[in-house]
Amino acid sequence: MNLIDVMEAFPDQESCIERLERIRWRGTPVCPFCECKDVKRKREATVGRVGRWSCSDCKASFKVTHGTVFHGTKIPLQKWFLAIALILNAKKSMSSYQLQRDLDLNQKTAWYILARIRAEMVSKTSPIVLQGIIEADETYMGGRPRKANKKEDREPSKRGRGTDKTAVIGAVERGGKVVAEVAKGLTGRHIFEFIRRVVNVRESELMTDEYHAYNALSSQMKHEIVNHQEQYVDGDKHTNTIEGFWSLLKRAWYGQHHHYSVGYTPLYVAERCYVYNHRHLEDGKMFWKFLREVF
């Protein structure tokens, strides 16, 4: 869905409500409080009341957006839908400044919409278990972009450099999905716990670089250590997939989010994983999937 598609499908608040009602209730509206089906549409006195229903049983008043990411919003749904399309389509992610300009929002609203949509991506992603050839790696985000010296990056000194950086750990199934998240640390214990949680270790083979924190995993699963000193990729022995994901993640971060605090990193990482994991969906399908999953 590009912006024109969204505007044609959803010219006004009514069309947005109508579509959400169809997705949620399939023609039979239900009271979200008592689950009674004896509900009536309220007369639409003002714009803010479009799509309001009342329950004959518990007398509650509600909208189709009840309990969803759109609950209680005063922002027109069309703007939400446009924001969703923009975020899902953005190859390099969106900044709230860009969203503010594109959708004529104020800065606070743009930031709020972005944060809510990203949080929605996190909450609607069921736990993923990777299986097959798994590449695992770790990185740091935040701070200023610079040529990373990986060893220093992994063990930032307590003082000075490194303190404004966020540790991110990730694993990707070749040809499949990625799981990446902000880590409390990158010690052997942190990495061990992460891999055990997101990878089916019995059915998988792990590829990592020579960082010693991965050593403990060698007793748990097939583990290939890739030597980055070597010039050539040795057949299947490489970590190019996860490194490619890191570069996507960082390019977008440093392009768009340089003014954000590190506290924002978890949601941003989740958004990039979500988009990566849906990359095989045809154009537009991701948008409809997102809308279906708000309920």
Count of residues in contact with Zn ion, rule CB under 5 A: 8
Closest to Zn ion by CB, 3 vs 58, is 58
User: Across the strands, what pairs with 173?
Assistant: 134
Orientation angle between helical segments 13-25 and 285-292, nearest 10 degrees: 70
Smallest separation (angstroms) from Zn ion to the CB of 88: 34
Tokens of 126: 């069921």
- Of the two residues 25 and 276, which places its CB atom closer to Zn ion in the complex? 25
Closest CB 61 distance from Zn ion, rounded Å: 10
- Closer residue to Zn ion, CB minimum distance, 32 or 170: 32
For 117: left if phi > 0, alpha if psi spans -120 to 50, otherwise beta; the answer is alpha
Please say which residue, 61 or 215, places its beta carbon nearer to Zn ion.
61
> Is residue 42 classed as helix, strand or coil in its secondary structure?
coil
Q: Which residues contact 61 (CB under 8 A, 6 or more apart)?
A: 42, 52, 53, 54, 55
Determine which residue in the list 58, 75, 216, 225 makes contact with Zn ion, applying CB under 5 A: 58
3-state secondary structure of 14: helix
| Distance between CA atoms of residues 177 and 193, nearest Å | 19
Phi-psi region of 143 (alpha: psi -120 to 50; beta: other; left: phi over 0): left
d(CA 120, CA 116): 6
Q: Shortest gap between Cβ of 53 and Zn ion (angstroms)?
A: 9
Q: How far is the CB of 221 from Zn ion (least distance, A)?
A: 52
Backbone angles phi, psi at 135, to 5 degrees: -105, 125
The region of 3-11, 57-65, 153-161, 176-184 touching Zn ion under the rule CB under 5 A is 57-65
Site for Zn ion in 117-136 (CB under 5 A): none
CB of 66 to Zn ion, least distance (A): 11
Minimum CB–partner distance for residue 293 and Zn ion (Å): 24
Q: Is 75 helix (H, G, I), strand (E, B) or coil?
A: coil
Q: Which residues, numbered 59-88, are part of the site for Zn ion (CB under 5 A)?
A: 60
Verify binding: residue 55, Zn ion, rule CB under 5 A: yes
Which of these ranges, 47-55, 188-196, 207-215, 278-286, lies near Zn ion under the rule CB under 5 A?
47-55
Chain positions 16 to 45 lying near Zn ion, rule: CB under 5 A, are: 31, 33-34, 36
User: Closest distance between Zn ion and the C-beta of residue 59, in Å?
Assistant: 7
Distance between CA 120 and CA 83 in Å, rounded?
A: 13
**Both structure tokens of 62:** 């509600």
CB nearer to Zn ion: pick between 29 and 142: 29
Nearer to Zn ion, 31 or 183 (CB): 31
Query: Can you give the binding site for Zn ion, defined by CB under 5 A?
Result: 31, 33-34, 36, 55, 57-58, 60
